[in-house]
Every structure is written in structure tokens, then in C-alpha cells.
DNA sequence: ATGCCCTTGTAACAAGGA
């Protein structure tokens, strides 16, 4: 089985690149984030043409998540029990069972700055996610993948000095990730295809990608039943190149199941 | 080379992203 996670930064703007990438990469399951379309506006017919079923959860202009699968897609859930809003519910999580594994695609709140109410929302959201995952992990194998908007360690940002005082690197955010792993999930880290660190995001501005000034914030957290069977994991930086890319690269995981 | 911010909604900017 091959699965992947990718923050596409608008499914409408990225559809040609997504279809090309699906055709060449041939993942069985894909977790998408920042689709930026309403649930009913997701281009399901286009991905159906490549053999994928779709489960989408969107709200229009902001956020939006989806799952694509060509190995079955059942028991779809929008959000998770106890998920907070800001203050209204936001389209940041969707899960479904594909090939016997519950996949959840997550788009964690950004936080903006540590003194912003959005940062408190981010921490509350991550704590609620942890609580909800406790039941899911007990029920069977789980993969939670997506844009976590947290770099787990200082090695996961291109220069820790630049991020002092910023979100994505603060101890409470990192502790929230640890708490999620502690419910029984492991961090499946992709191989970088260039350089020594598997960054998944590079700002569009100032040639950051070309200087490899990135961050590892797109993460794959998997139950041991999945993590133990990983045969390869790669950050597909090829998808960050060329005309009209997302600012995030996909993480692609192969599992012998 | 991989190449120097992007997307959406609304009407020339505003807001968010990280």
C-alpha cells in the first residue's frame, strides 16, 4: 500500500498538478489539506477519472480537507468528537477507513503569533485531537497525516534562530505533538531527496525553496501496526518544483500490508 | 538548475498563510 499527505494550497489552483501527480505516483490513499473549496465543490469527478473515491469536508475560502482512496472509503467522519471551533466549527479534519486502516487528514490551526487567540485555539485543538485519537487507536490501526503546523524539533527548521518568538517551534506546541504520539502513534519521517533534512514546506518568497530554507511541518503519525511495516517514506520535493506548485511537498509512504 | 509570494473573495484591496 502506498499512501501520502499533501497540503495543496487550493484544490482548484492545484488540480492539474494533482492529477498529474496522482497518475505518476499512484498512491492508494491521499490525505489532502487546504483544499479551499466547499464540500460540494470538490472536483470529485476529475479524480474519479483516475479511479479514486473522494471524501471532502470544506467550507469555501479557508481550510478544507479531503481523502482520496482507490482501496475503499467507508465510515467517513467530518471533524472529530470534542473538536473546538474559532468559535464556529472549521473544516480541519476528516477521517475514513481505507484498506482496514483509519486515515485522518488534518489541517492544524496556524496559531499566527504566540500572543494571538489563534495560538490558544491551536493548543486546544491539538489537545482535543489527542483525546479523540485515543478511542480511534484503541479501535484499530490509524494513520493521522497532514499539515500539523508544528516543527517537532529544532532540526526541523532551516535555522532555529530565525524562529525564536514565533509559532511552530514553541515548547507547548511540541509538547502537544508528543502527547499525540503518546496515545500510541509513531512519527514516520520521509527521506529528503536532496539535503540532509526532510523539509516539507518552503515559503514561496525570496527563493526559499531553492536555498532549501524549509520546515518539516507535514507529518505522518501511524499506529505500530502500520509504522512497523513501512518499507519507504519520501518527501516528494519534485512536486514543489516547476510552474504553479503548492508551497508544501507531499510525503509519500510505502507499507508492506 | 528547482528560480526569487500565492490564493480567494470582492471590486483595488483585504486577509491569511507560517
Mean pLDDT by 10 residues, chain A (257 residues): 97 95 97 95 95 95 96 97 94 97 97 93 97 97 97 95 93 97 98 93 93 96 98 96 94 97
* Nearest-CA residue relative to C1' of B18: A110
Separation between the CA of A237 and the C1’ of B3 (whole angstroms): 15
What is the grid cell recorded at A152? 517537532
As for how many domains chain A has, the answer is 1
* Nearest-CA residue relative to C1' of B2: A241
Nucleotide nearest A14 (Cα, C1'): B7
Q: What is the CATH number of the domain that holds A66?
A: 3.60.10.10
d(CA A3, CA A92): 19
Annotated active-site residue A107? The verdict is: yes
Closest to A246 measured CA to CA, from A3, A13, A1: A13
- List protein-proximal bases of chain B (any atom < 7 A from a CB): 2-9, 16-18
* Nearest-CA residue relative to C1' of B17: A110
Separation between the CA of A61 and the C1’ of B9 (whole angstroms): 8
- Give this prediction's pTM: 0.97
Separation between the CA of A204 and the C1’ of B6 (whole angstroms): 7
Nucleotide nearest A36 (Cα, C1'): B8
Q: What is the pLDDT at residue A12? A: 93
Q: Is the separation of the CB atoms in A200 and A190 below 8 Å?
A: yes
Nucleotide nearest A204 (Cα, C1'): B5
d(CA A70, CA A73): 8
Nucleotide nearest A247 (Cα, C1'): B6
* Nearest-CA residue relative to C1' of B8: A61
**A116-A176-A117 Cα angle (round to 5):** 15
Separation between the CA of A247 and the C1’ of B6 (whole angstroms): 9
Q: What is the pLDDT at residue A20? A: 95
Q: What is the pLDDT at residue A60? A: 87
Which of A136, A147, A156, A218 is catalytic? The answer is A147
Separation between the CA of A227 and the C1’ of B9 (whole angstroms): 42
Query: How far, CA to CA in Å, does A56 sit from each of A16, A53, A112, A141, A204?
Result: 18, 10, 26, 22, 26
Q: Which domain holds residue A100?
A: 2-255
In this predicted model, what pLDDT tens digit does every residue of A66-113 receive, in sequence order? 999 999 999 999 999 999 999 999 999 999 999 999 999 999 999 999
A251 has which bridge partners? A5, A235
Amino acid at each position: 500500500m502506498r499512501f501520502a499527505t499533501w497540503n495543496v494550497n487550493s484544490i482548484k489552483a492545484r488540480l492539474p498538478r494533482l492529477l498529474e501527480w496522482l497518475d505518476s505516483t499512484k498512491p492508494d490513499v491521499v490525505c489532502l489539506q487546504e483544499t479551499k473549496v466547499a464540500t460540494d465543490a470538490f472536483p470529485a469527478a476529475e479524480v474519479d477519472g483516475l479511479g479514486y473515491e473522494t471524501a471532502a469536508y470544506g467550507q469555501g475560502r479557508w481550510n478544507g480537507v479531503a481523502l482520496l482512496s482507490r482501496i475503499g472509503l467507508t465510515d467517513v467522519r467530518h471533524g472529530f468528537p470534542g473538536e473546538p471551533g474559532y468559535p464556529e466549527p472549521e473544516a480541519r479534519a476528516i477521517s475514513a477507513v481505507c484498506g482496514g486502516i483509519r486515515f485522518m487528514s488534518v489541517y492544524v490551526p496556524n496559531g499566527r503569533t504566540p500572543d494571538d487567540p489563534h495560538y490558544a485555539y491551536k493548543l486546544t485543538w491539538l489537545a482535543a485531537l489527542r483525546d479523540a485519537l485515543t478511542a480511534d487507536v484503541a479501535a484499530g490501526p490509524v494513520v493521522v497525516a497532514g499539515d500539523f503546523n508544528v516543527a517537532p524539533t529544532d532540526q526541523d527548521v532551516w535555522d532555529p534562530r530565525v524562529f525564536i518568538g514565533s509559532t511552530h517551534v514553541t515548547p507547548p506546541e511540541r509538547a502537544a505533538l508528543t502527547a499525540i504520539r503518546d496515545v500510541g502513534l509513531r512519527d514516520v519521517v520521509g527521506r529528503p531527496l536532496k539535503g540532509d533534512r526532510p523539509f516539507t514546506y518552503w515559503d514561496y518568497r525570496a527563493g526559499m525553496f531553492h536555498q532549501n530554507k524549509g520546515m518539516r511541518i507535514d507529518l505522518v503519525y501511524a499506529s505500530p501496526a502500520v509504522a512497523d511495516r513501512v518499507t519507504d517514506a519520501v518527501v516528494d520535493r519534485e512536486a514543489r518544483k516547476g510552474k504553479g506548485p503548492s508551497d508544501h511537498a507531499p510525503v509519500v509512504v510505502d507499507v508492506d500490508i
